[in-house]
Amino acid sequence: MSNKKQLRIGLIGCGFMGRTHSNGYKRVGDFFPELTYQPVLKAACARSADKVKAFAEQWGYESTETDWKALIARDDIDAVDICTPNEFHAEIAIAAAAKGKMILCEKPLSRTLAEGQRMVDAIEKSGVKNTVWYNYRRVPAVTLAKQIIDSGKLGKIFHYRANFLQDWTISPELPQGGEGLWRLDVDAAGSGVTGDLLAHCIDTAMWLNGAIKDVSAMTETFIKERVHQASGKVQKVGIDDACIFHCHFENGSLGLFESTRYARGHKALYTFEINGEHASIRWDLHDLNRLEYFDHRDDSIVRGWRSILVTDGDQPYMNKWWVPGLIIGYEHTFVHQAADFLKSLETGEPCAPTFKNALQTQKVCEAVIDSANSKSWKDTGAVNM
Ligand SMILES: NC(=O)c1ccc[n+]([C@@H]2O[C@H](COP(=O)([O-])OP(=O)(O)OC[C@H]3O[C@@H](n4cnc5c(N)ncnc54)[C@H](O)[C@@H]3O)[C@@H](O)[C@H]2O)c1
């Protein structure tokens, strides 16, 4: 019998993220044995009884629910993990906070800034532990980038640029709404690539380079109408299919961001680059263990881009995995966030990004959409955290 303290998880939403989080909870105790808390897969919830039962059996959940309200009402659940489409994040989080449950919520925090603010108010009122799964912060190479930037090696920062490119919505035959395609329905998603993809880039950017002060954006909806799966009728498409914005950071540097689901050939190309007076860093999700680093102070005869394979035990998280030279993957970022959340229960420190941190990203997303609609610069109101 384990002498660990239990963190009894109630997972809501059993799709893509339901799987990554379940894997995280199952693996975390094996690879972070020093933690005093251990997640217990208490209940999974999805609307279809058959599907949730099959999911629970596959992943080892003790019980199932088909109504999230029943799940959050249970006394044997300590933490609610929200893995539903964006439209349910606020309602579930606010209700779970009122019941005193800890909350782990998928990104983006909310569909709109107003919704996000209500979520922050709710968790502040109840004082419950919370975190938002902006998991790319916990790619070891990205965490290492943060450490290098914070050490001052780059000097004054001039530029930050990021891309998140996909190509899966090019067909006009693709319907919008419902299972699997809620991302194309503005009522369910809140926005298109801005909230879905750029939110990741914005979270990483503000973590690495501080607050984004103001933005000038343009968006495009290439396919204007699609059949809605719920009504069966052709309906206007309300999401942004593509978004490009530039911005000023609080520290005086300039930013350039691009996202689209119409970049044929790209499935999930997330890249960023940061340029300082002495050095630059770049990273690419498709080669996520690698960090590229250029330092102008190097001896000129060997000066050039260094390719750092981030697998050594003294690099972030890597002493938990294999031996130097052996790589890890996407799924490990969720193990890392689960570990950091469990650790935060021991230390009492917040597990960033918290709802409050994630609200800063909502401020930028909202300003981006406002700027594109109004064809003007918008202040974001985001603050350094
Ligand atoms: N961190 C990341 O990198 C990342 C990646 C993908 C998705 N996400 C986020 O995770 C969330 C879920 O995305 P996904 O890709 O897993 O979606 P998905 O469509 O694969 O899964 C959503 C699940 O929620 C269930 N669901 C829908 N409404 C529900 C309700 N009212 N009650 C209970 N269950 C309900 C669906 O049946 C489905 O099982 C979204 O907010 C998305 O933005 C984050």
The reply to whether 201 and 144 lie within a common domain is yes
- Separation CA 4–CA 17 (nearest Å): 26
Ranges of the chain whose pLDDT falls below 50:
none
**Substitution candidate for ligand 1 out of 12, 16, 51, 68 with most atoms within 8 A of CB:** 16
Q: How many distinct structural domains can be found in the chain? A: 2
pLDDT at 246: 98
- Residue that is last in its domain, among 104, 135, 166: 135
272-300 pLDDT per residue, tens: 999 999 999 999 999 999 999 999 999 99
CA 183 to ligand 1 centroid distance, Å: 10
pLDDT at 352: 98
Atom of ligand 1 nearest to the CA of 84: 24
Supply the CATH number for residue 101's domain. Answer: 3.40.50.720
CA 84 to ligand 1 centroid distance, Å: 4
- Residue that is last in its domain, among 74, 101, 135: 135
- Separation CA 326–CA 306 (nearest Å): 18
- Residue that is last in its domain, among 79, 104, 135: 135
Atom of ligand 1 nearest to the CA of 108: 43
The reply to whether 181 and 204 lie within a common domain is yes
DSSP 182-196: GGG-HHHHSSSHIII
Count CB neighbours of 360 within 10 A.
24
The reply to whether 119 and 248 lie within a common domain is no
The reply to whether 115 and 228 lie within a common domain is no
Atom of ligand 1 nearest to the CA of 195: 43
Count CB neighbours of 287 within 10 A.
14
Pocket around ligand 1: residues whose beta carbon is below 6 Å from it? 12-18, 45-47, 68, 83-86, 88, 106-107, 133, 135, 180, 196
Residue nearest to ligand 1 atom 38, measured at CA: 15
The reply to whether 119 and 160 lie within a common domain is no
pLDDT at 180: 87
CA 197 to ligand 1 centroid distance, Å: 14
The reply to whether 151 and 130 lie within a common domain is no
Instruction: Looking at the chain, list the stretches that DSSP marks H as alpha helix, in order from N- to C-terminal side.
Output: 16-31, 49-59, 68-72, 89-98, 113-126, 140-150, 186-189, 193, 199-209, 331-347, 355-374
306-360 pLDDT per residue, tens: 999 999 999 999 999 999 999 999 999 999 999 999 999 999 999 999 999 999 9
- Any domain includes 337: no
The reply to whether 290 and 222 lie within a common domain is yes
CA 60 to ligand 1 centroid distance, Å: 19
- Any domain includes 339: no
- Separation CA 217–CA 192 (nearest Å): 14
Residue nearest to ligand 1 atom 40, measured at CA: 85
User: Domain limits at 249?
Assistant: 139-328+352-379
pLDDT at 362: 98
The reply to whether 158 and 21 lie within a common domain is no
Atom of ligand 1 nearest to the CA of 48: 37
